[in-house]
Structure 1
């Protein structure tokens, strides 16, 4: 069914246009924007894992955010929550601007990208699959592999158009867990990666990759569990928790590019991990958010 426009509540500053600009450089994403900075998404939504198409709009920064869904009726509520999490709207951002008064670096980051919140993977499941697909290959190559897998064995879903417009576009979703497990082998991937994806799909079907459950656990416990998944090490476990489940307040100890970005932004000289963590303590309870802003600025500087 195609829904009407549904409200996506949030607190604190948010600018969808800033998220749209950010997501264009977020290589793993299969999201698309138009000239009005509306966002188009296509993903399998838990717990049913049926495909969903979504069109997101915001008329002005900090204004109401709305989504129009193509989803089964019983999936609408869950799909709307998926979209809120993807855009980090399910986190209370009221206190985020206050960090600028305590840390000039954070103030500069917020001024450069006002209203930007982390844009996440569609689910912890997709973040885990991306981690496996991307092992030992360049990010651009991994993104192309993911797209090819989605086209070959994923599901096409129509993304709704805006009211009164021409019909929307069709996008390919990454294969849902049951679809993945129905394959003898995932195309384009070596046997070892295919087997690892099957293990991740099984964990997702068992509910072990539920975003809410992972975020409710102490971060150390969640990371320890994620590292038991096939093919998932410390870096990937942190990616799944921070950029898949959307935990807003974890310092990524296994992300060298973030550490370099902190070193540069704060003028540090060969800092230890403890020193970097001490800097990040000042970002609580938004350590993930500030980390994403730092990485975004760092990546822009590289282009």
Structure 2
């Protein structure tokens, strides 16, 4: 079913164009920006895990954000929630600009990247699968593997067109949990990774990777819970919680590149993780969001 445009309510600053620029440097993303600056998404949506195509637009910077969906009627409410979470629109951002008043480093980041919020994996399930696929593999190679798996055993879904276009385009979604469990082995991957992906699929179907559930838990408990999944260590657990579930206020203790950027920005000398955590305490309740600004700034510096 192709829907009409749905409003995606949010509070605080947000610029879809900034998100689009960030997605271009987000290696595992299966999202695309068209010539009109609209964002195209394709993903299996929990709890049914049926494929969804979505077209997102914004009417000017800080203007209203809308989505048009290709989804079964019963999946529309969940799909709208997925899109809001993917773009971090489900987090109250009213207080985010105020961080600039007490931290000049954050002020410079916000000025350089106005309106940017974290752009997330389509689900904690997909974030966990990515973390397994990408282990001991270069990022570009891992992204190519993920794309090939989507083409071979995922689902193709049409992304709705704009109001003046006759048809949309088709994108491949990453295979839904039940699809992975139907396979004797996930193609292109060694047996150990295939087995771990199947365990991840089982966890998703059991509700253990539900974004709302993970974000409702104390962060330390959620990280310990995630780290019990096969193939999910400390770094991967943080990835799933921060960039999969979209927890807005966790400091990633296992991201060396982030730590290096903070050390340089604040002129620190050989800080340990506790020193960096104390710096990040200034960013509450948006520690994840500020960390993403550091990541995006680093990506722009490479262009």
Using the size of structure 1 for normalisation, the TM-score is 0.99
- The alpha-carbon deviation at position 301 of structure 1 amounts to 2.1
Instruction: Quote the residue 2:60 is aligned against.
Output: 60
- Cα distance in 1 for residues equivalent to 2:266 and 2:253: 17
The residue correspondences of 1:63-142 to structure 2 (distance < 5 A) are 63-142=63-142
Partner of 2:10: 10
CA distance in 2, matches of 1:12, 1:167: 33
Q: CA deviation at 1:300?
A: 2.3
Structure 2: which 5+ runs fail to align?
Answer: none
Q: Secondary structure at the match of 2:283?
A: coil
1:165 and 2:165 matched: yes
Give the match for residue 240 of structure 1: 240
In the TM superposition, residue 268 of structure 1 has moved relative to its aligned partner by 1.1
Deviation digits for residues 82-121 of structure 1, max 9, x if unmatched? 0000000000000000000100110010011100000000
Distance 2:215 2:201 in 1: 19
Shift of 1:166: 2.6
Give structure 1 regions of 4+ aligned residues with deviation exceeding 6 angstroms. none
Task: Report how many residues are paired.
Answer: 303
Q: CA deviation at 1:299?
A: 2.6
SS of structure 2 residue aligned to 1:67:
strand
Question: In the aligned structure 2, how far is the partner of 1:241 from the partner of 1:273?
Answer: 19
Residue by residue over 1:3-22, the C-alpha shift from the partner in whole angstroms, topping out at 9 and shown as x without a partner, is 00000000000000000011
Report what 2:298 is aligned to.
Answer: 298
Aligned to 2:278: 278
Residue in structure 2 matched with residue 257 of structure 1 by the alignment: 257
Using structure 2 for the length normalisation, give the TM-score.
0.99
Q: CA RMSD in A?
A: 0.6
Deviations 1:189-227 (A, max 9, x none): 000000000000000000000000000000000000000
| Mapped partners of 1:295, 1:147: distance in 2 | 23
Task: Quote the Cα distance in structure 2 between the aligned partners of 1:214 and 1:19.
Answer: 24
Map Cα deviations across residues 239-270 of structure 1 (whole Å, 9 max, x no partner). Answer: 00000000000000011111001011111111
Tell me the SS of whatever aligns to 1:254: coil
Which whole-Å deviations, capped at 9, do the CAs of 1:113-141 have from their partners, x for residues lacking one?
Answer: 10000000000000000000000000000
How far off its partner does 1:37 sit? 1.2
Secondary structure of the 2:126 match is helix
Provide, for residues 158-201 of structure 1, a one-character-per-residue CA deviation record: whole Å limited to 9, x for no partner.
00000121300000000000001000100000000000000000
